């Protein structure tokens, strides 16, 4: 689920609509606040929105990145988050990097959920189409190391998945996967491709390995980058890109 935010584009508004639809259907909503950042107006706005969207849904405070600060600072942030959410709301400190308190968080979450039927058959983790998962793996690889330069400006579409013909049984199956990466400006295209195409090749290698793990078969991944000017604000472009 995307995060709740103040939308600046049509894409942002559609993502917020998705959040609102999802929040009313879940068992628990976690508000994650880093231990090394002060609570600000944006955090208060998110809490207000969540309370309005899903007033009956359980809220859980999660103070993250506790490995980056002293225990005193962690304690201060726990008090601040508790004050923000109210005394009836549990607050759990965790560090995803070190794994500290992660099991505690899992236990707290499990205690707040009612047991229900399995949503997927045994051995399956999601009902998302493979194309969607592949596109997301490519997008993650492309955004890695770019910080905030391209967060929502990059979209990935899987154009084709074609089994390679003429493969022997010994060689095994090989899939040709063709994907397009869309950005909004020519300058962003240069960032994604890199000098002499070096960065795009690196993206392709990382994404290919992840997709092969997902599919359990070898793939040949071909990536191309295109500019779709201001696609986040264009309803037709958003629809074509799957939003």
Q: Would you state the pLDDT for residue 117?
A: 82
| Span 157-187, pLDDT tens digits | 899 999 999 888 888 899 999 999 998 888 8
Q: Would you state the pLDDT for residue 149?
A: 58
CA distance 67 to 65: 5
Q: What is the CATH number of domain 130-240?
A: 3.30.300.20
Closest Cα to residue 91, out of 108, 72, 112?
Answer: 108
| Span 76-104, pLDDT tens digits | 999 999 999 999 999 999 999 999 999 99
Give residue limits of the domains in the chain. 10-111, 130-240
Q: What residues pair up with 224 in beta bridges, in sequence order?
A: 180
Same fold, 10-111 and 130-240: no
| Span 23-33, pLDDT tens digits | 777 889 999 99
Q: Would you state the pLDDT for residue 170?
A: 85
Q: Would you state the pLDDT for residue 79?
A: 96
CB 69 within 8 A of CB 35: yes
Closest Cα to residue 178, out of 209, 135, 210, 227?
Answer: 135
Q: Phi and psi dihedrals of 38, rounded to 5? A: -75, 145
Q: Would you state the pLDDT for residue 53?
A: 83
Percentage of residues of the chain with pLDDT beyond 70: 84
Q: Taken in order 69, 72, 76, 78, is the CA torsion positive or negative? A: positive
CA distance 167 to 139: 29
Closest Cα to residue 161, out of 110, 214, 124?
Answer: 214
CB neighbourhood size of 42 (10 A): 11
Residue 2 has pLDDT above 60, yes or no: no
Mean pLDDT of 149-157: 74
| Span 108-143, pLDDT tens digits | 999 998 888 877 777 666 767 888 899 999 989 988
Q: Would you state the pLDDT for residue 177?
A: 96
Checking phi first, is residue 221 left (phi over 0); if not, alpha (psi -120 to 50) or beta? Answer: beta
- Which is more confidently placed, 114 or 8? 114
Whether the model pTM is above 0.85 = no
Q: Would you state the pLDDT for residue 1?
A: 47
Residue 151 has pLDDT above 60, yes or no: no
Q: Would you state the pLDDT for residue 16?
A: 65
| Span 194-232, pLDDT tens digits | 999 999 999 999 999 999 999 999 999 999 999 988 777
Assign a CATH topology to domain 10-111. Rossmann fold (3.40.50)
Report long-range pairs for 44-49 (Cβ below 8 Å, ≥24 apart).
44/84, 45/6, 46/4, 47/84, 47/85, 49/4
């Amino acid at each position: 689920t995307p995060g709740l935010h103040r939308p600046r584009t049509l894409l942002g508004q559609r993502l917020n609509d998705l959040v609102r639809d999802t929040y009313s259907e879940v068992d628990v909503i976690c508000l994650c606040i880093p231990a090394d950042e002060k609570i600000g107006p944006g955090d208060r706005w998110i809490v207000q929105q969540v309370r309005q969207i899903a007033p009956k849904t359980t809220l859980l405070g999660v103070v993250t990145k506790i490995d980056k600060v002293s225990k005193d600072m962690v304690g201060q942030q726990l008090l601040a988050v508790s004050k923000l959410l109210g005394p009836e709301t549990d607050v759990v400190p965790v560090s995803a990097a070190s794994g500290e308190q992660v099991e505690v968080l899992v236990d707290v979450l499990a205690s707040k959920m009612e047991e229900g039927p399995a949503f997927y058959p045994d051995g399956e983790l999601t009902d998302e189409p493979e194309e969607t998962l592949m596109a997301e793996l490519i997008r993650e690889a492309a955004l890695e190391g770019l910080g905030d330069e391209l967060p929502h400006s990059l979209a990935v579409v899987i154009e084709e998945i074609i089994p390679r013909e003429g493969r022997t049984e010994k060689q095994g199956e090989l899939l040709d996967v063709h994907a397009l990466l869309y950005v909004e400006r020519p300058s962003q295209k240069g960032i994604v491709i890199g000098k002499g195409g070096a960065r795009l090749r690196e993206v392709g290698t990382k994404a290919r390995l992840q997709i092969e793990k997902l599919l359990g078969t070898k793939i040949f991944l071909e990536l191309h980058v295109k500019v779709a000017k201001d696609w986040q604000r264009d309803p037709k472009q958003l629809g074509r890109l799957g939003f």
